[in-house]
Copies of this chain bind each other. A is one copy, B any other.
Amino acid sequence: MAPGCEVLGRVRTGLARLEGSRWGLGSQIMWKTDCPASSHLVDSCLPQSLVQPAATKLVLLVLDGLGGLPREPGGPTELEAAETPNLDRLAAEGQVGLSQPVGLGITPGSGPGHLALFGYDPVASNIGRGALSALGLGLRLEAGDLGVRLNFCTLDDQGVVVDRRAGRIDTQINQALVARLNGIEVPGVELAFATESQHRAVLIMRGAYLSPAVQETDPQAVGVPPLEPEPLTATAQHTSAVLRLVTEAVRDCIGGESPANFVLMRGYAGLPELESLNSLYGLQAVCLATYPMYKGLARVAGMAVVDGLHSVDNQMTTLATVWDEHDYFFIHHKAPDARGEDGGFDAKAAAIEEMDRRVPDLMALGPDVLAVTGDHSTPSTLRQHSWHPVPCLFRAGSVLPDTVESFGERACGQGSLGVFPAQSIMPLMLAHGGRLQKFGA
């Protein structure tokens, strides 16, 4: 039994803990009998305590934002409309259901959506905005670092916020301002400013004793001055003092500019220190993703990350080259989510088809276990993430196929997996991979 499991029966101490930079999965564990639906999901500690080695290859294929809605009443969803002969065959040969990333009615961001798929509790391991923005830019966050989401803003002569987004300045202006801000030095802490886009930027702070428990300076309104980065707990006094120095330096540095003459800070967050998939399950996990955000999330789970991938072709070609070195493969396909957010029904269907065409390449490698799903739904009619559960299929030698013959929302709603927690995908993959011993005698 791994060390984390000794804490069964201890309870999580709550949000305050989520804000600390030094929490781990173990401290969130308690007896599952306090909860109404214990039949579906077991804590990562139970599978973890049962891990046994096996020479099996597990593949998690994520079609980001996979789930959708009909464009017109009675019509098909994007996935149902897409020509997906390969995924349909896998669904017919395998078992399907609808995976629920966080809970009924809850729309997940990319962070909770993926961490659930990797087997982590998506709420306990939620990543704050500053840290996630840093991941999205491909910036590395280490334990103890603090990410801060910045908006360039406009202050008037009295120091009052007149535009919280500085007129949505061009990204090029943002970059020029960030270059100057990167000259700021504050003793005892390393600072790195980075451009996101338009008025959006990120600050990464590295140093000892940094705490996210500081008041956000964005007043969320115009006509008032920015708030002060007051400490919200006694242990955040150092961070508060650092941030005051930073804001003064920002004022000195760009205070004479127009319209972007200050920054508003929010979403202070470090990365959660999650136990790695290797430590939890003995997996040699690798990520094949094209976007920085998902590579960052994979790093949070301790995966190796292949850099330099730009297309599904890249991903599939590379998969073959890293096949022997790893045993858990996270393949991330961004396009369905991006097209869904654009409101492109047909484009989303096409993005799904693009991956379907490469499924035979994947199957040719002979994965022992394949799970195909999304991190959340992104219906093109809604143009945003949604709360709808996500089609999911399992293909493995030990799967009991159900009666479903195709891969789609309604078909998966008839699958024998039912509606189930996305967090259970990992233990199911491990089980089908022969990587979990019996529990109890």
Contact = CB atoms under 8 A, between A and B. Distances in A.
Given A34-B30, A424-B103, A439-B107, A403 B398 contact: no
Interface stretch (A169-177, A184-192, A305-313, A427-435): A427-435
Contacts of A124: 31, 33-34
Given A9-B17, A129-B441, A441-B127, A38 B39 contact: no
Nearest to A107: B438
A432 B284 CA distance: 40
Interface residues of A, number: 102
B398 A431 contact: no
Contacts of A401: 70
A335 B297 CA distance: 48
A419 interface: yes
Interface in A382-441: 382, 384-388, 398, 400-403, 409-410, 413-424, 426-431, 436-441
Contacts of A364: none
Interface in A44-103: 46-47, 50, 69-70, 73, 77, 93, 98-103
Contacts of A424: 39, 103-105
A402 B413 contact: yes
Contacts of A77: 400
A11 B34 contact: yes
A113 B39 CA distance: 11
A9 B15 CA distance: 6
A234 interface: no
Interface in A109-138: 109-113, 116, 121-124, 126-129, 132-133
Copies in the complex: 2
Among A42, A400, A419, residue most surrounded by chain B Cβ atoms (within 10 Å)? A400
A28 B36 CA distance: 12
A431 B50 CA distance: 35
B427 A398 contact: no
A39 B387 contact: no
Contacts of A128: 441
A320 B354 CA distance: 50
Contact of A110 (B47, B398, B441): B441
Given A400-B70, A413-B402, A40 B419 contact: yes
A104 B43 CA distance: 11
A104 B410 contact: no
A25 B227 CA distance: 32
A303 to B, nearest CB: 19
A126 B439 contact: yes
A40 B36 contact: yes
A29 to B, nearest CB: 8
A414 B417 contact: no
26 contacts: A8-B15, A12-B31, A14-B30, A31-B123, A33-B123, A33-B124, A38-B103, A38-B122, A39-B40, A39-B102, A39-B422, A40-B103, A41-B103, A42-B102, A46-B102, A46-B106, A46-B123, A69-B400, A98-B416, A105-B429, A107-B431, A109-B441, A122-B440, A382-B398, A400-B410, A402-B410
Given A29-B34, A41-B103, 9 more contacts: A39-B100, A39-B420, A39-B422, A40-B419, A102-B439, A108-B438, A127-B440, A386-B398, A387-B436
